Amino acid sequence: MPRSQEKLARALIQNDYDQDICQLHPDFYCLNLRTRQEFAWEHFGMMDDPEYAARATEKIGLYAENGFFPGKNLIITMETSAKPLSSKLLKSVIQTYLK
Per-residue pLDDT tens digits of the chain, which is 99 residues long: 555 556 555 555 554 444 444 467 899 989 999 999 999 999 999 999 999 999 999 999 999 999 999 999 999 999 999 998 888 999 899 999 988
Flag whether 49 is in a domain.
yes
User: Which domain range does residue 50 map to?
Assistant: 25-98
Please give the tally of structural domains in the chain: 1
Flag whether 94 is in a domain.
yes
Asked whether the beta carbons of 85 and 79 are under 8 A apart, the reply is yes
Cα pseudo-dihedral 68, 39, 41, 67, rounded to 10: -10
Flag whether 4 is in a domain.
no
Flag whether 37 is in a domain.
yes
pLDDT given at position 73: 96
